[in-house]
């Protein structure tokens, strides 16, 4: 397996996981700067928005991970709540945190939240795909034990397992290409790209988590329940607002 550390000098280290987050933030910044006149924000306001979304993403992702995945562990290890460099960030929480940050800022500046959302999801889905590759390198978010020929032995888990991180990465790369094609279409109603993102991400999470290891609640993982909510809500919105 690849080492999760890209570069190390003494106590200073750069991991693939951290590099993905830096890339994601820069990609979002680039896209928002490019479209700032369409949104109605100055360059300085774009920087403020990106910083706010980064904070929202990290805080939201950490809170959801603790609440839905490892509450018992963190209740006994409170100080490790702040060790985000070791992983443990929930996609659904990150999406919620970014959404709330963008909603707050768009209200404050009186600009369209859906315009911002349509622009942000393109680099976001690419970041999410690379994030799953970083999860694979970190040997976390492992799949169930299987005997398929492409199964992987992870350092911290017994048995040969489905590389669900790579399944998710592949699906998200395909979604990126699909959203890119949508973005090239003219006169799309605001929010159409964003709600397609939510719809397909929700489906993907619900399906792929059948091969993921984890504690089930009423027969499904926490991520599947949240993915199902994303699928239903976005499906209703797409049908009512964009049919």
Q: pLDDT for 135-181, tens place per residue?
A: 899 888 899 999 999 999 998 889 999 999 999 999 999 999 999 99
Report the predicted TM-score, pTM, of the whole model to 2 decimal places.
Answer: 0.85
Cβ atoms of 134 and 87 closer than 8 Å: no
Quick one: pLDDT at residue 31? 92
Quick one: pLDDT at residue 73? 67
> Dmax of the chain from CA atoms?
57
- What are the helix (H) ranges across 7-80? 16-34, 36-39, 43-68, 71-76
Residues of the chain with confidence (pLDDT) below 50: none
Nearest to 172 by CA among 206, 137, 134, 131: 131
Quick one: pLDDT at residue 22? 86
Quick one: pLDDT at residue 83? 65
Give the SS3 label for residue 143. Answer: strand
pLDDT in tens, 216-230: 777 888 789 989 999
Quick one: pLDDT at residue 85? 60
Give the SS3 label for residue 159. Answer: coil
For tokens 């049908």, the residue is 239
DSSP label at 85? G
Quick one: pLDDT at residue 233? 96
What angle, 0 to 180 degrees and rounded to 10, lies between the N-to-C axes of helices 113-138 and 91-109? 160
Spatial CB neighbours of 128, under 8 Å, sequence gap ≥ 6: 91, 172, 201
Say how many Å lie between the first and final Cα of the chain, rounded. 46
Quick one: pLDDT at residue 61? 83
């Amino acid at each position: 397996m690849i080492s999760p550390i890209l570069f190390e000098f003494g106590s200073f280290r750069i991991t693939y996981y951290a590099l993905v987050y830096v890339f994601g933030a820069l990609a979002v910044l680039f896209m928002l700067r490019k479209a700032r006149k369409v949104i109605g924000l100055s360059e300085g306001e774009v920087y403020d928005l990106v910083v706010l979304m980064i904070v929202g993403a990290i805080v939201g992702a950490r809170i959801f991970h603790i609440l839905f995945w490892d509450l018992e562990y963190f209740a006994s290890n409170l100080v490790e709540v702040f060790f985000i460099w070791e992983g443990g960030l929930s996609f659904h929480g990150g999406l919620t945190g970014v959404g709330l940050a963008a909603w707050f800022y768009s209200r404050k500046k009186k600009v369209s939240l859906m315009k911002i959302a349509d622009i942000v999801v393109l680099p976001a889905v690419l970041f999410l795909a690379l994030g799953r590759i970083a999860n694979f390198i970190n040997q976390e978010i492992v799949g169930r034990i299987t005997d398929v020929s492409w199964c992987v032995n992870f350092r911290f888990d017994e048995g040969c397992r489905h590389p669900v991180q790579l399944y998710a990465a592949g699906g998200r790369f395909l979604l990126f290409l699909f959203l890119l094609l949508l973005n090239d279409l003219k006169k799309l109603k605001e929010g159409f790209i964003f709600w397609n993102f939510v719809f397909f991400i929700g489906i993907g999470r619900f399906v792929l988590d059948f091969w993921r290891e984890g504690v089930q609640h009423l027969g499904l993982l926490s991520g599947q329940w949240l993915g199902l909510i994303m699928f239903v809500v976005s499906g209703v919105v797409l049908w009512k607002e964009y049919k």
